[in-house]
Amino acid sequence: MSVLVVVECADGEVKKSSLEVASYGADVAAMLGTTATAIAVGEANEANLAKLGEQGITKVLYDAEPRLKDFVNNAYTKLIATAAEQESAKIIVLANSNIGAAVGSRLSVRLKTSLATNVVELPKISGDQFTVKRGAFSGKAFSDVVLSGDRKIIAVKKNSTEAKHEAGKTAEVASFSAQLGDADFADAPKQVVMQDQAGGILLPEADRVVSGGRGMKGPENWGLIEDLAKALGAATACSKPVSDVDWRPHHEHVGQTGITVSPNLYIACGISGAIQHLAGVNSSKVIVVINKDPEAPFFKAADYGIVGDVFDVLPKLTAAVKALN
Amino acid sequence: MKFLVCISNVPDTTTKIAFTPDNKEFNKAGVQFVINPWDEYALTRAIELKEAAGSGTVTVLNVGQADTEPNIRKALAIGADDAIRVDAVPQDAYFVAEQIAAIAKEGAYDVILMGKESIDYNGFQVHGMVGEMLGIPTVAPAMKLDMSGNTATLEREIEGGKEIVSVNTPFVASCQQPMCEPRIPNMRGIMTARTKPLKVVPAVGEPARTTVAEYALPPKKQGVKLIDAENAGELIKLLRNEAKVI
């Protein structure tokens, strides 16, 4: 019996959300008196995989099959299922990412497990009862969900748990082969197109986010958002009306039907705070609202607020951040 | 081409969420229910593809009790041809996936579409479970879907980019924007929807694998601390020294 952690890699680096997942998996293993093994997917680098020891991982399985570099639903599912059988894994932990959801849902049927996605805390284990807390109603509520059966899959929400770092600890990297063949890669992507991310920071994983709404008056003013984001090391985002009129691309749209973010800091500039927008951001730790309308509903959900003109306030904030650094 | 579009019945996006006094169930009192907004992309795109091909059918499927029928009729008014309701409380994603898989298999549907996730349970699981139960590919979440004969080309969102994927029917896709502009019913659609077939069938399969023990609302915010716009730089000091987030 062990805990199997799915670790997503890109360009040789382990994704931040996967460091959180590794740490979560190691904590669950400790609760159950066992060890946590990781299975790496994507373009991995063995030195970085060994560093997963810092998150409490004992062993990392790595299949060097080159076609696993890009996400292939069938191949990834088979790879992880094979690793789970080899390790007799009772618990599989993965990120609540597009990859994690696509693979986790198939695995739950193939391995006959229960599955909880969007999980925000470590489980409560009491005898046979295994309960996890997960986000529901688009961030407007939580639910405690009891997972049945002796095998379970948990998909952990990004930024909801912190990755621990125990410097100097290393994991053993073991080569592993799931004997994947051409048939497993039948649904391989024809092409992968990566977007230019502002400052290279992925919005769903970002620690800090600066977001703009219709109050920014037009795409030509986004430099003000980008300047503050750059100074803070933040990702940029926008509200739905902004992406609907194509001021900003869809993948920056945060809200109920867009991306859900839960950064440590969310700065909303010229966004009134419709309930659909709040659904995408209300699990952020600290929310700052800048709006010239003191009646904007967003202020009710904010920790800090400035009633003022974004065109006047944003440059001041950027200058203050630069002065601080 | 036979399209099966799965829709769920969810609280309107503006709903203030509340629970029953024992926190075991969502409090439906006074709540307006709508077609899950993500599912609207699946429905409209299926109708567009059927129209473009000049042949085919679009069937909507809902797992729910009789109170979901107004929204099933709405989907028919938007342009679906017929509907199936599995008469059961949608207990969890696994249970719902079993119902969809059974109906998809029986009806030999070519394309099974649904929204990325429901805005109430936020599971983002059903698509993959259905695909696995049927042994067919799943593309999730899909931002674009085009069909040419039996081959579909989709854009699948990945963190930081997209994949262009092509699959043959049958397949499952979970849909999100900017796939299409969701349609709203017109008067003619509303009139014809009344007489379109809506079949009610019993649930099948094994019981749910997860149960909700309790719901909770997030802790209340302490209230906003306002900083004078003239002195905006003060905010940055507070974020560093008080909130400790920068």
pLDDT tens per residue, chain A (325 residues)? 799 999 999 999 999 999 999 999 999 999 999 999 999 999 999 999 999 999 999 999 999 999 999 999 999 999 999 999 999 999 999 999 999 999 999 999 999 999 999 999 999 999 889 999 999 998 889 999 999 999 999 999 999 999 999 999 999 999 999 999 999 998 899 899 887 665 678 888 899 999 999 999 999 999 999 999 999 999 999 999 999 999 998 889 999 888 889 999 999 999 999 999 998 998 899 999 999 999 999 999 999 999 999 999 999 999 999 998 7
pLDDT at A158: 92
H/E element, B98: helix B93-107
Note which residues in 108-147 of chain A have CB less than 8 A from chain B.
108-110, 113-118, 131, 134-147
Number of H helices, E strands in chain B: 6, 13
Q: Looking at beta carbons, which residues of chain A come within 8 Å of B158?
A: 71, 98-99, 192
The reply to whether residue A141 touches residue B221, judged by beta carbons under 8 angstroms, is: no
Peptide bond into A263 cis (omega under 30): no
Answer yes or no: is A277 a known binding residue: yes
pLDDT at A197: 61
* ipTM score assigned to the predicted complex: 0.94
Q: Looking at beta carbons, which residues of chain B come within 8 Å of A253?
A: 177
Q: Are residues A302 and A265 part of one domain?
A: yes
Of B97, B156, B236, the CB nearest to A320: B236
Question: Which residue, among B23, B44, B125, would best test binding to A if mutated, counting the most A CBs under 10 Å from its CB?
Answer: B125
Of B212, B232, B240, the CB nearest to A144: B212
The reply to whether residue B164 touches residue A193, judged by beta carbons under 8 angstroms, is: yes
Residue type, A303: D
The reply to whether residue A304 touches residue B224, judged by beta carbons under 8 angstroms, is: yes
The reply to whether residue A148 touches residue B216, judged by beta carbons under 8 angstroms, is: no
Q: Are residues A171 and A23 part of one domain?
A: yes
pLDDT at B131: 98
Q: Are residues A270 and A221 part of one domain?
A: yes
In chain B, the residue whose alpha carbon lies closest to the alpha carbon of A131 is B213
Q: Which of A128, A157, A185 is the last residue of a domain?
A: A185
Q: Are residues A262 and A221 part of one domain?
A: yes
**Residue A230 lies inside a defined structural domain of this protein:** yes
Query: Is B225 an interface residue toward A (CB < 8 Å)?
Result: yes
pLDDT digits (tens, 9 = 90+) for B183-239: 999 999 999 999 999 999 999 999 999 999 999 998 888 899 999 999 999 999 999
In chain B, the residue whose alpha carbon lies closest to the alpha carbon of A278 is B14
Residue indicated by tokens 């992309």: B41
Query: Is A245 an interface residue toward B (CB < 8 Å)?
Result: no
pLDDT at A204: 86
Q: Are residues A285 and A166 part of one domain?
A: no
Note which residues in 104-163 of chain B have CB less than 8 A from chain A.
119-129, 131-133, 137-141, 143, 156-163
H/E element, B3: strand B2-6
pLDDT at A271: 97
Of B126, B161, B235, the CB nearest to A192: B161
Q: Give A122 to chain B, closest Cα distance, Å.
A: 16
**Residue A190 lies inside a defined structural domain of this protein:** no
Question: Which residue, among A43, A112, A143, A202, would best test binding to B if mutated, counting the most B CBs under 10 Å from its CB?
Answer: A143
> In the A/B pair of chains, how many CB contacts fall below 8 A?
258
Tell me the two tokens of residue A40: 């790496």
Q: Report chain A's mean pLDDT, rounded to a whole number.
A: 94
pLDDT at B193: 97
pLDDT digits (tens, 9 = 90+) for A120-146: 999 999 988 999 999 999 888 999 999
Q: Give B128 to chain A, closest Cα distance, Å.
A: 5
Q: Domains in chain A: how many in total?
A: 2
List Cβ neighbours of B194 (8 Å cut-off, separation of 6 or more).
Answer: B73
Regions of chain B with pLDDT less than 70: none
Q: Set out the domains of chain B in order of their start, with CATH numbers.
A: 2-218 (3.40.50.620)
Tell me the residue ranges of DSSP E strands in chain A: 2-14, 36-44, 59-62, 89-95, 114-119, 124-126, 129-136, 141-147, 152-156, 172-175, 191-194, 208-212, 235-238, 265-269, 286-291, 304-307
pLDDT at A256: 86
Q: Cα–chain-centroid distance for residue A4?
A: 18
In chain B, the residue whose alpha carbon lies closest to the alpha carbon of A194 is B161
The reply to whether residue B124 touches residue A118, judged by beta carbons under 8 angstroms, is: yes
Q: Give A106 to chain B, closest Cα distance, Å.
A: 5
Residues A141 and B218 sit within 8 Å (Cβ to Cβ): yes
Q: Which of A185, A208, A230 is the last residue of a domain?
A: A185
Cα–Cα distance for residue pair B138/B217, rounded to 1 Å: 33
Q: Are residues A71 and A42 part of one domain?
A: yes
In chain A, the residue whose alpha carbon lies closest to the alpha carbon of B222 is A303
Residue indicated by tokens 């989907």: B75
**Domain span at residue A125?**
2-185
Q: Which of A185, A207, A232 is the last residue of a domain?
A: A185
Of B132, B137, B229, the CB nearest to A187: B137
**Residue A61 lies inside a defined structural domain of this protein:** yes
Q: Are residues A169 and A44 part of one domain?
A: yes
**Residue A219 lies inside a defined structural domain of this protein:** yes
Q: Are residues A23 and A57 part of one domain?
A: yes
The reply to whether residue B164 touches residue A98, judged by beta carbons under 8 angstroms, is: no
Q: Looking at beta carbons, which residues of chain B come within 8 Å of A321?
A: 236, 246
Cα–Cα distance for residue pair A89/A153, rounded to 1 Å: 10
Answer yes or no: is A273 a known binding residue: yes
Q: Are residues A293 and A210 part of one domain?
A: yes
Answer yes or no: is A256 a known binding residue: no
CATH number (domain holding residue A289): 3.40.50.1220
pLDDT at B221: 83
CATH number (domain holding residue A140): 3.40.50.620
Q: Give B39 to chain A, closest Cα distance, Å.
A: 11
pLDDT at A145: 98
Cα–Cα distance for residue pair B218/A92, rounded to 1 Å: 27
Q: Are residues A236 and A319 part of one domain?
A: yes
Q: Are residues A124 and A21 part of one domain?
A: yes
Answer yes or no: is A195 a known binding residue: no
In chain B, the residue whose alpha carbon lies closest to the alpha carbon of A249 is B178
Cα–Cα distance for residue pair A221/A288, rounded to 1 Å: 19
Query: Is B205 an interface residue toward A (CB < 8 Å)?
Result: no
Q: How many CA atoms lie within 13 A of A133 on its CB side?
A: 13
Question: Which residue, among A20, A74, A257, would best test binding to B if mutated, counting the most B CBs under 10 Å from its CB?
Answer: A257
Q: Looking at beta carbons, which residues of chain A come within 8 Å of B225?
A: 303-305
Of A146, A283, A304, the CB nearest to B238: A304
Q: Are residues A224 and A127 part of one domain?
A: no
